[in-house]
Structure 1
């Protein structure tokens, strides 16, 4: 068999769409002025409900967040510990936390703004402030520790010098024949042969 010539290739995709959706294409052809080529784009779909309507899909998705936020801010949390955090808000709303931190950043920012507007500090900020205080205390402790170690080293060096001097005196006294210092006899260690 031979392959069909290039001119006999499949019709353009818009022609097959015309066959699939004749009503839509009829409205396009009806609105095209005479003498103009028919547009290859279909008409727009019927108008979608506005996202700002009180019953639109966006409002329905956001409703649990606002209810959870209200319960937390009024101190009547039912599903979380009531902390002023995004984690508690997500638990209270019954949704995953990443929905607030990735998709609905405006809700997260609004929540924190409302907490601050009420004169409260979010628990995450309180926790971070406590951690900063603890780290500053550790840093101060770490700063005093090296000075204490230097002082200890100086004391140990003095003790070693005193012991070295005392040992020298004893060795010198031991080398004198009329010295009252006597060397103690040593016992051979087990496993060593002389």
Structure 2
């Protein structure tokens, strides 16, 4: 086997060890650790150093934190999550409204310019430069 093949096989084996450790900790059947639902316990249970877990198996660590590491959700956390969802929805509505209003402003500016040209003939209105550029 090549060096790259060995490394890939080792990584696959480590991923399986981490998955097995996650399952044991989730089921409260720890074999090599205290059974706590922490990343330290996950590292002990899987036999893989914690630094390597973070560097090479970050997705599994995140999965562990989501499924096992959080524990029960308190009412305060659930309320904050609800507020966050509402705030994100409101933010999206404001972004859409802002885009719509900017479009209306452009249209109205064009109408004003056209009407100014029609009524004054030679008088041309040039808008003042903005103090702050648009974002």
Relative to the length of structure 1, the TM-score reads 0.31
Highest RCO, 1 vs 2 (Cα 8 Å, sep ≥ 6): 2
Q: Which has the higher helix share?
A: 2
Relative to the length of structure 2, the TM-score reads 0.44
Q: Computing the radius of gyration over CA atoms, which structure comes out larger, 1 or 2?
A: 1
